[in-house]
């Protein structure tokens, strides 16, 4: 089992460009999450999907969109990247009831 996988691992964008971060899990988890991690700010929840077909905003959703493509896959889209979106992005998944989250390896994004 690969657990949670993310692509790409690294990305450099220019201001205004768009991109989609991909996440997939093979643990049959219902819930999936997108976080960003910035120095001194900790992990902050961007969006989550409690189950296939549903998505909800987290703490910092502005500038992002998400798609829960199926039970395995949850993508994060930046429509018009800004330097403030330079961060490390983590995808996570959790099963039902216990909410123990398992994280992917992360995507390091730089917006210039």
Partner 1 sequence: QKEVEQNSGPLSVPEGAIASLNCTYSDRGSQSFFWYRQYSGKSPELIMSIYSNGDKEDGRFTAQLNKASQYVSLLIRDSQPSDSATYLCAVNKDTGNQFYFGTGTSLTVIP
Footprint of partner 1 (CB under 8 A): 31, 33, 35, 40-45, 48, 50, 56, 58-59, 90, 94, 98-106
Within 8 A by CB and 6+ apart from 105, the residues are 4, 5, 6, 9
Q: Which is nearer to partner 1, 17 or 72 (CB)?
A: 72
Peptide bond into 59 cis (omega under 30): no
In this complex, which beta carbon is closest to partner 1, that of residue 27 or of residue 79?
27
The CB-of-8 to partner 1 minimum distance in angstroms stands at: 15
């Amino acid at each position: 089992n690969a657990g949670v996988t993310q692509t790409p691992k690294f990305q450099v964008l220019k201001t205004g460009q768009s991109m989609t971060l991909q996440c997939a899990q093979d643990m049959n988890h219902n819930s999936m999450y997108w976080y960003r991690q910035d120095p001194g700010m900790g992990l902050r929840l961007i969006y989550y999907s409690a189950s296939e077909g549903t998505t909800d905003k987290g703490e910092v959703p502005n500038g992002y969109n998400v798609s829960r493509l199926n039970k395995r896959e949850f993508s994060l889209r930046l429509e018009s990247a800004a330097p403030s979106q330079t961060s490390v992005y983590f995808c996570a998944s959790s099963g039902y009831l216990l909410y123990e989250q398992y994280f992917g390896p992360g995507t390091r994004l730089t917006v210039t």
